Structure 1
Amino acid sequence: MSDLRHPVRLLASAEFARAYTLVVLVATFAALPIERLTSHVTSVTIVVVLAAVGVAVLFARREELSLLRLAPTSLIGFVVLALLSVFWSSAGGATLTGWATMFGYAVLAITVGHVRDTLQTVRAIGDVLRWLLGASLLLEIIAGVLLDTSIPLLGIEGNIAGGGSLQGIFGTRNMLGFIAVIALITFVIEWRTQSVTPALAVCSVALGAFLALRSASPTVIVLAAAVGVATLALTIVRHAPAERRSLVQWVLGGVVAVGLIAALVLRHQIIRVLDAGSDFSMRADLWNSILDFVGQQPVIGWGWMGGWPPTQFPYLYINILLDQQHRSALNAYFDVVLQLGAAGLILFLLLGGVAVVRSWLVASVRRSVVYAWTPLVLVTLAVDSMFESFTLVGVGWFMLVLCALRAGQTRSWRENIDAAQTGVIPTLPPKE
């Protein structure tokens, strides 16, 4: 019996949880270079093995967990709908493969969310991103300065010396910019919580800011503006007197609504300022083509795929019409409505929207600034989803599930059920 208990104790230990989290984060954030340096099969195998270990970890910790609070309801609904789409998809095998990948990353995020608290998660992500961004900068310097060549295997064009855009180990400038913004949020939270030394914090923020700027991604400017506005609004709410906090929230909500309307009205001027006219024109053509196919399957979509399989209908046909080689809709919301219809879009919006509201309310009343990490990352994901489909696959999906789980752990209807079963009234102290 002692031999059987030993591996269970190992899986349930804090040391294993920390090691597992770091391995999961490296495998998730570095999925592209792992795949390109080995193979797609290797990358998938890593996710499958880590997901299996994650299930074992959750089982070992089952006495600490509540089945009702294992995952958000909207997440379960979205994942179940994606699985059911196998029955109406024109390519059931590809749909099942895409679903399995999505489910694997969801299991990884759920496991990390339950074995690490918010500060531990931030520290782990900060450590991993420091190494990966540092490796990106080093390889850019080697390719663009020392060798004056590109590294096609990793998608590095070697433009650092000439002032061109950088890709790092993440394949594209937009992905590098997206990762750099998440890293900046994480590094600043580490700095504010004094989780790392000031020198390391300053160097980390400088590294993230440099790569974000040198990615030359138009989306970085939008993401930075959105995160900046969200940070300012959250700071105002956190410093407002408790009796006026609700009023302040409503006023800020109104300001955001007005701002969104103004951005919609002035979209052409904004596009000119960002010098992204041709890029936006290409996306507009893509989205118009997608809407034609959405009209044929408006409720349940064409079946879940995640990333677009290049040989499957309707993705192949869309690319033929546009004479392009798109691997996504370049917009998570268009991608969801194409693949899972209006039903999937509603569940996806519920998943992200409820998570934003919950995490925002928690961050507005908790003293520790670490609680600001979740809503700020969710804002980044929501805004980036308007320009890319990163949130539906790989690291983007992992971060969405992790943040949604983190938000639901503090403010959820499940707390009331747990309270009824245990006799403990769930509370959220105003300051901590």
Structure 2
Amino acid sequence: MNWVRESRVALTALTLFTLLAGDFWRYLLSWWGWGIVVAVLLAGWIALAIKTRVNPRRIPIALAAFILVAALSTIWSAYPLTTLLAVSTTVATVFVGVIMAATVSLEQLLRALGVAIRWIIGLSLVFEFVVAAIVRGPVLPLWVDYTPPIPRAFYWSRAELFEVFDGGRIQGMVGNANLLATAAALGLIVFAIQLVDRRVPVVTAWFWVGAAGLTLLLTQSATITIALAGCAFTLGVIMLARRLDRRRRRMLYTGSVGIGVVGTGTAIALREPLLELLGRSSDLTNRLDIWESVIGLWAERPAFGWGWVSYWAPWVEPYSDLAVINGVTYLQAHSAWLDVAMQLGVVGLALFTVVVVTAVLRCASWSTDPAEGELAHTPALRLLPALIMTLLVVQSFAESRMLVEGGLVLFTFFAVASMRAGLPPIAPSPRVSVGAPGRASP
């Protein structure tokens, strides 16, 4: 049944590519083309769920409760039809994450992520080089007809590859510097694990580690830089925890939380010099204005919010003019936590907090204290859940990506798979022996 395992890896890789680089399909094929791609992928996951008899109800109670509240918000929503549409897309995305967690092993996810991110990084670097060296001018998405003057944010690529030392940032084939930086950060984690475990040839592994690092430098994302610092902190805590008994681990975790709180407070107090060091404005690139508007809207409906909308729908109030800056209508709160609070109120925010905290704790336990069935996972592979979860959570304070597309699928995968009873079967772990010239699966 090797072909079944390989088809799952291929389906997972294509799904992650599509969800992490959604704008690539939308810019290239239009929203209708993107919808067809997504529909085909969803059909593939439904077929897999039926074939393997997956029970989709086997998800954390807190996550199920959060989705239920989002669905019920259609009742009190200020835009019920839009909420119904948003709930449908959210449920479909979570469904894919649940089926993925039930049918794809951790090793298979690593391989699929590696394939998807190699394509994203590789295509992005080639795309930016062609635009900067051959086209020599900004490129707009296909299937659009903007009226000048066109805001910078509307361009697929601004042809800034050769201007990075003068403040330019590449956006890649995903059309957004922060999205490309997120993919590169995920790649750095995945490729480093593959390198340590010799899952791909050493030269290949180092090449892609270097490509991911180069992409991070060219995107210059302050948010992802901070998120990677958080990943480094998590890595240090896990490596130390693995050397301690359970009692000392609890002390370590308590101390780590304290350090994290103090560090966050210090970063907030010293935000201006830190942002200057990272090359960002003191208003967090307009985020303070957006947050102020979102908090004001939340205050009008504090208990249950305005109704679930996921990414903001620009065709309904209050999102059509909630955050318009330099001619660009922003479609997220640039904070998953504020987005949840505004859309689902205190009730939704409480549930979301429980979902995130419990998932993070389970992933930390998964990474440090494996159950008997997980002993086949290498120490490096068991770092994957905690590191990716750290990346998602830290990013969630400045971006809302964890609520949609790739961020939501990855979060759902780890939230479900980290439940001991719900772990997917362990697949063989192909690795390249040191010094061996043989091939390994990507």
Q: TM-score, normalised by structure 1?
A: 0.86
State the AA in 2 paired with 1:306: S
Distance 2:324 2:180 in 1: 28
Cα-to-partner distance string for 1:286-323 (whole Å, 9 max, x where unaligned): 11111111111111111111111112111124236997
For 2:30, the equivalent position in structure 1 comes to 39
Return the offset for 1:326. Answer: 1.0
* Contact kept? 1:143, 1:150, Cα under 8 Å: yes
Change beyond 3 A, Cα 1:18–1:220: closer
* Contact kept? 1:300, 1:339, Cα under 8 Å: yes
- The aligned runs of 1:85-234 (5 Å cut-off) are 85-153=73-141, 155-163=156-164, 164-234=168-238
* Contact kept? 2:132, 2:160, Cα under 8 Å: yes
Distance 1:37 1:377 in 2: 29
Distance 1:190 1:167 in 2: 26
For 1:349, the equivalent position in structure 2 comes to 353
Cα-to-partner distance string for 1:210-265 (whole Å, 9 max, x where unaligned): 00111022212212211111111111112335663333333323322322232233
Return the offset for 1:383. Answer: 0.9
Distance 2:345 2:326 in 1: 22
- Segment of structure 1 superposing worse, 36-45 or 120-129: 36-45
Distance 2:327 2:344 in 1: 25
Task: State whether structure 2 residue 42 is matched by structure 1 residue 51.
Answer: yes
State the AA in 1 paired with 2:409: F
Distance 2:6 2:328 in 1: 48
Distance 2:211 2:326 in 1: 38
Distance 2:401 2:417 in 1: 20
For 2:21, the equivalent position in structure 1 comes to 30
Task: State whether structure 2 residue 404 is matched by structure 1 residue 400.
Answer: no
Q: Which has the higher contact order (CA 8 A, sep 6+)?
A: 2
Provide the aligned C-alpha RMSD in A: 2.4
State the AA in 1 paired with 2:275: I
Consecutive unaligned residues of structure 1, counting only runs of 5 or more, are 1-8, 413-432
SS in structure 1 at match of 2:300: coil
Task: State whether structure 2 residue 393 is matched by structure 1 residue 382.
Answer: yes
For 2:332, the equivalent position in structure 1 comes to 328
State the AA in 2 paired with 1:346: A
Cα-to-partner distance string for 1:150-198 (whole Å, 9 max, x where unaligned): 2222711111122221100112111111121111111111112221111
Change beyond 3 A, Cα 1:30–1:323: closer
* Contact kept? 1:331, 1:388, Cα under 8 Å: yes
Return the offset for 1:271. Answer: 2.6
State the AA in 2 paired with 1:61: T
Distance 1:384 1:409 in 2: 26
* Contact kept? 2:102, 2:422, Cα under 8 Å: no
Q: How many residues get paired?
A: 400
Change beyond 3 A, Cα 1:39–1:323: closer
Task: State whether structure 2 residue 287 is matched by structure 1 residue 296.
Answer: no
Distance 1:321 1:200 in 2: 43
State the AA in 1 paired with 2:71: L
Change beyond 3 A, Cα 1:293–1:67: closer
Distance 1:274 1:320 in 2: 25
Change beyond 3 A, Cα 1:272–1:19: closer
Q: TM-score, normalised by structure 2?
A: 0.84
Return the offset for 1:281. Answer: 6.3
Consecutive unaligned residues of structure 2, counting only runs of 5 or more, are 142-154, 371-377, 424-442
For 2:52, the equivalent position in structure 1 comes to 61
State the AA in 2 paired with 1:94: T
* Contact kept? 2:9, 2:111, Cα under 8 Å: no
* Contact kept? 1:89, 1:304, Cα under 8 Å: yes
Distance 2:294 2:320 in 1: 12
State the AA in 2 paired with 1:295: A
What is the percent sequence identity of the aligned residues? 25
Distance 1:371 1:132 in 2: 24
SS in structure 1 at match of 2:329: coil
Given candidates 8, 17, 30, the residue that maps to 2:8 is 17
For 1:3, the equivalent position in structure 2 comes to none
Change beyond 3 A, Cα 1:34–1:285: same
* Contact kept? 1:50, 1:108, Cα under 8 Å: no
Cα-to-partner distance string for 1:354-397 (whole Å, 9 max, x where unaligned): 11111101211246221111111111111111111111111111
Distance 2:273 2:325 in 1: 29
- The aligned runs of 1:314-325 (5 Å cut-off) are 314-319=318-323, 325=329
For 1:372, the equivalent position in structure 2 comes to 383
* Contact kept? 2:163, 2:169, Cα under 8 Å: no
Return the offset for 1:410. Answer: 5.5
* Contact kept? 2:129, 2:161, Cα under 8 Å: yes
SS in structure 1 at match of 2:323: helix
State the AA in 1 paired with 2:9: R
SS in structure 2 at match of 1:295: helix
- Segment of structure 1 superposing worse, 121-130 or 226-235: 226-235
